[in-house]
Structure 1
Amino acid sequence: MKSLWFYYLQSFKDIVSHGTIFTTLILSVLFYSFFYPTAYQAQQAEALPIIIVDEEQSSLSTRIIGQVAQSPNVEIEAITGNFAEAKQWVESQKADGILLLPDNLSQSLRHGETGGIGLYLSTANFLVTKQIGLGLATSVEQTLADYTERFGQVSDFSPALSVHQIPLFNPLSGYGSYVFPAVAPLIIHQTILLGLSMLILVYRERKVELNANALIGMCLAVFTIGCLGCFYLFGFSFWLFDYP
């Protein structure tokens, strides 16, 4: 009976000599290591559509709208005074968020309150709506802070609830660093499963009798390639594209 080492080495020869198996086990890993990072290279979404509901229609609300319009994260699709109309835009997926400027905004700020500004975001895509929230929060807070400095009874403005976001596992808060680390193990798993199945099928077509040593040697060869693929993806690819 031939040794386990013989079948182990023979499996590598069969993988290299069979183009389909070689492509599945090795070339596909190389391809996907560049395909996914390149597709999500932008990392952050820009110009996300929002609707602004301006109930007050004052100089303050105009300043807020102008400040929001300068944010690269959002794009104002429409300005309306009807909240129900804005809600229909979001429900029909024509917009991803609503910024509500209430009719008592200026009066509320003069009394030292936060103004009652409302931000409504669609949760269909969490990463997208997260970018809208960050863009709007920065623009609105700065405008309100500048406005309240004009009144003596309000010396400082700060939101009622201060939220400090500290990403633990995705410090870049981007699409690529969110998607690829999750997809990489799946790529390795699927290439191992498909490659091993195809290799067994080739032996069956050749009517090669597979004993215990042959099966173990074949599995070890495929798993070795899978481990090398892990080292490549989790080592080189993560380093190359600066993923956490």
Structure 2
Amino acid sequence: MSIWGYSLYTWKLIFKDKGAMLLLFGAGLVYSFFYPLPYHFEQVESVPTILVDQDNSASSRTLSRLLFAAPNLDIQQVTNNTDEITQRLWRGDVMAMIIIPAGFHTDLLSGNVAEVQIASHGGYLLAGSKALMNATEATLMMGAAISLQKAQSMGVSTQQALASLQPITLQSRALYNTAEGYGHSIVPAVMVLIIQQTLLIGVTLLLGQQAELRQLPTGPRAYLGMLLTFTLIALLNTLYFFVVATQLQHYSRIGNLSSVLAFAIVFCLCISAFALILGRIFKTRERGLQLLLITSVPMLFVSGYSWPAESLPTALYYARWLLPTTSGIHGFVSINQLGASLMDVIWEFAVLLGLALVMIAVGIKLYRPQR
């Protein structure tokens, strides 16, 4: 058969395999709706918090009222015993604990620096950071009020006192992630991972079945025909995610469609060549599903998107570029969400193209007819 004949034959195999159909076409649709669902509200709200007031003074009660008024804190209890609260924090019953230590009022009256202690559950970084931010704002507001009263008592006018408290006015506005939400930040990156993993698992599922039946097509034309089919499937899923799904989920999309398409073609060619190599290595139908599912989260972390790449070991810092997701995540997010041009992501584009050429050469060798 010709290359087109093998491509058509691959389509027929896909349509006969319900598992491959579900992974190659259905999984992307399901993920595009259900994965962003937990991040619909974007911001962490009502963080369960316990306030420990060991000072029990007028100043500590003033700070307590400010903490109760904080928009993202849910003060569930006010106590002066830290032992029981620490256990609840370890169990995850509460996400944060704010301690007003004894001597808080005395330090304020004497002009010393008064301290407020905050502890949060390390397993929930967003909840802990939100509790820290709200507690910091409340303490700064109280400190500003005290400084204002001291300045007025010294005969300084209200306007001068306010100007001395804030000599420079800062107005910050998020340029791309206008909601400053977690969903806008993480979902577009995870979409790249979903596109790759569903394709890899679907291809290894399909080709593993053919290997078990000893009917796996071999030869350069068979390889190129399958590569053409899987590249087209990956391209359809990519365009659906970054053109349709982002609009349906109301995520920002300011990239040029031609740049997205050019980058997507190279990315899809690369992951399709990667999938065919794995499909040749895995000799059973379920092997790809068993091994590839557990690699998704590590791939996201080593990409340097959700975790600083500079914190990775040196070897891993450079080895991560051997994974298509590393270049794919940075390239697609830069183009689609940040409005970068193709020249702005030329490094990621070149890495994907180089990986694709190497993997295609390896794939042609692996799919040589065997005696």
TM-score by length of 2: 0.56
CA 1:61–1:8: 2 relative to 1, 3 Å? same
Identical-pair percentage? 26
Higher mean alpha-carbon deviation, 218-227 vs 146-155, is at: 146-155
C-alpha separation in 2, matches of 1:98 and 1:32: 36
The corresponding residue for 2:237 is 229
CA 1:183–1:209: 2 relative to 1, 3 Å? closer
Supply the AA of the counterpart residue of 2:226: M
Contact 1:52 1:86 in 2 (8 A): no
C-alpha separation in 2, matches of 1:137 and 1:169: 26
C-alpha separation in 2, matches of 1:181 and 1:143: 39
Q: What is the deviation of 1:83?
A: 3.4
The corresponding residue for 2:97 is 98
C-alpha separation in 1, matches of 2:176 and 2:107: 39
Structure 1 segments unaligned to the other structure (5+ residues): 159-163
Contact 1:60 1:147 in 2 (8 A): no
C-alpha separation in 2, matches of 1:124 and 1:173: 21
- The RMSD of aligned alpha carbons is 3.2
1:116 aligned to 2:115?
A: yes
CA 1:105–1:174: 2 relative to 1, 3 Å? same
Supply the AA of the counterpart residue of 1:193: L
1:70 aligned to 2:69?
A: yes
Q: Describe the SS at the equivalent of 1:78.
A: strand
Render the CA deviation track for 1:99-125: whole Å, top value 9, x for unaligned: 121222233234444421222222211
C-alpha separation in 1, matches of 2:210 and 2:16: 13
CA 1:14–1:209: 2 relative to 1, 3 Å? closer
The corresponding residue for 2:51 is 52
The corresponding residue for 1:187 is 194
Structure 2 counterpart of 1:200, from 197, 207, 230: 207
Supply the AA of the counterpart residue of 1:233: F
1:175 aligned to 2:182?
A: yes
The corresponding residue for 2:276 is none
Q: What is the deviation of 1:167?
A: 7.9
1:8 aligned to 2:4?
A: no
Contact 1:29 1:187 in 2 (8 A): yes
The corresponding residue for 1:161 is none
Render the CA deviation track for 1:11-64: whole Å, top value 9, x for unaligned: 234323543322210111011011111232122222211121212211221122
Contact 2:207 2:216 in 1 (8 A): no
Q: What is the deviation of 1:205?
A: 6.8
C-alpha separation in 2, matches of 1:138 and 1:209: 64
1:220 aligned to 2:228?
A: yes
Q: What is the deviation of 1:201?
A: 4.2
C-alpha separation in 2, matches of 1:24 and 1:115: 58
Question: Quick check: which one's helix share is greater?
Answer: 2
Contact 1:36 1:176 in 2 (8 A): no
Q: What is the deviation of 1:188?
A: 1.5
